[in-house]
Amino acid sequence: MKTMSAPSKSKELKIITRPALTINDIVNDSRKIALLHIVKSFGEITEKALYHLVKGVQEEGKIKLGYSFFEVAGILSSKELREDLIALLYLGLLESNPRNKKLRITADGQEFLEQNIEKLGDNAEKISEAIENLRPKIIPIDAEQELTFKLMKPGRRRRAF
Q: Report the candidate in 57, 81, 58, 62 with the shortest Cα–Cα distance to residue 133.
A: 57
DSSP per-residue codes, 37-84: HHHHHH-SB-HHHHHHHHHHHHHTS--------EEETTEEE-HHHHHH
Contact present, 102 and 90 (Cβ < 8 Å): no
Domain residue limits, the chain: 27-151
Q: What is the pLDDT of residue 88?
A: 93
- In eight-state DSSP terms, residue 118 is G
Q: What is the pLDDT of residues 53-103, one digit of tens each?
A: 999 999 987 888 889 999 988 889 999 999 999 999 999 999 998 888 899
Q: What is the pLDDT of residue 37?
A: 94
Q: What is the pLDDT of residue 72?
A: 87
Q: Give the pLDDT mean for 139-158.
A: 76
In a 3-state reduction of DSSP, which class is residue 105? Answer: strand
Q: Which CATH class is domain 27-151?
A: mainly alpha
